[in-house]
Structure 1
């Protein structure tokens, strides 16, 4: 009886093993899922045209490039130039005002498509961003209070308080010359601190300071030195915005050929500021 029971159990185990083997042989391994096709890089120009809007990051506090006039309307040299470019591309300009030190992050986060705010074209920025061709050439100036008689050159600002936006190339000049940086949100705040003697100096765009002194000749501010190196400024885009950059460059070329750029430049500065 024991032998018979053992034989039956053994037969059952062998049949089970054979069944597993047969099942395993019949089941073919599933083919790997095809790899998803690479996503095509976004063509920002096509996107902008499809939406009919160009989103533009700008300060709105940086006269005469981007600021509000007495009626509260956003205006300025950069505003007029980029508005004309948008018109030539065939889209509506939508301005999104942002403090300078938050502007690059806003572009990174795709809050806007381009920055129009006198952004200096520098190698470190070109590693991360695309730029249009230069549309202004400007010189940094060192400004002090009219009562200041000790600061006459950039080398004199070591240890002095300089009102600067933290991410500006103008701030780099202040640091290189040993100044203590006092962070500000923009040009107007820097000038206010200087006029009230809460800082000793500010290094800013020469065209902006000249425009300010033209508008307010009695302001207690004076220019004491000009930096030897001129800065080239361009419209800034996220990396990979090739088609939109090309459209901007074509519009700028056309504006310079047909006199539109010169008309805008002379309106604001009385000269061609692209050279």
Structure 2
């Protein structure tokens, strides 16, 4: 909703910044004292986070982050920010956590710690339904859309076989596929499959074993064992008592844990 974003240089810089920070109290104490948990996400990744007709940020990730905050005994504060700088914002203290459909990768673990995973996903390849492309190999040399900073972007560039066009969010990428401005796009599969089902969109998914799968986690700053334990317990309790399933069915139409 993967998803999966940020350059290696930026991640390393963020990790080095945080690694040199002075010793401090666990973030859980600060969050409790402030009475709020600030939750960062892109706001441009439906159905996980998006702006509705009432100009409110809503979605699966919004509900998950808000419920975790309430179970910590504090109020949720939703923060929208550009995905390609979201880890740097966490490391430098702009917010407390990222509940934004972020894939857990070794590269990201250099800069942040993860709670979860809270769902599983994979990179999906999508084309116009009934179009000329029926396989990954048939797209050789064609224009492929990706969301800036996602793991999908890195994967597509590493193939060194496509023309790459970057986007800030999924809606614009879907529109450009429909308009023929890109031949395909690659991103987290779950939100696209939801969009296809809800809108009867003329989009087809191409299956390929070379497309990677991911665990999706909640990012916090490193060296916060109390916060990590409290958030993990909140997540586990949500999964045990049916709250997680209700949120998942509301936004996704399936239990994606």
Match of 1:222 among 170, 185, 204: 204
SS at match of 2:182: coil
**Contact 1:99-1:186 within 8 A present in 2 as well:** no
Do the aligned residues in 1 keep the contact of 2:91 with 2:111 (CA within 8 Å)? no
Q: What CA RMSD, in Å, does the superposition of the two structures yield over aligned residues? A: 1.9
Give secondary structure in 2 for the equivalent of 1:133: strand
CA gap 1:154/1:42 in 2 versus in 1, 3 angstroms: farther
Aligned to 2:4: none
User: Residues of 2 paired with 1:252 and 1:181: CA distance?
Assistant: 37
1:127 corresponds to which of 110, 113, 117: 110
Match of 2:86 among 103, 128, 131: 103
Q: Where does structure 2 lack aligned partners over 5 or more consecutive residues?
A: 1-20
Is residue 42 of structure 1 aligned with residue 22 of structure 2? Answer: no
Aligned match of 1:187: 170
Q: What is the rounded CA distance, in whole Å, between the counterparts of 2:176 and 2:254 in structure 1?
A: 30
SS in 2 for 1:135: strand
- 2:77 is aligned with 1:94: yes
Give the corresponding residue for 1:263.
Answer: 246
Name the structure 1 match of 2:3.
none
Shift of 1:156: 3.1
* Number of the residue aligned with 1:28: none
Uncovered stretches (5+) of structure 1, i.e. residues with no partner: 1-37
Q: Distance in 2 between matches of 1:43 and 1:50?
A: 12
Larger Rg: 1
Match in the other structure for 1:168: 150
Q: 3-state DSSP class of the match of 2:45?
A: coil
Give the C-alpha shift of residue 103 in structure 1: 1.4
Q: Which protein has greater RCO, CA pairs closer than 8 Å, 6+ apart?
A: 2
Verify the 8 A CA contact 1:58 1:98 in the aligned structure 2: yes
Report how many residues are paired: 235
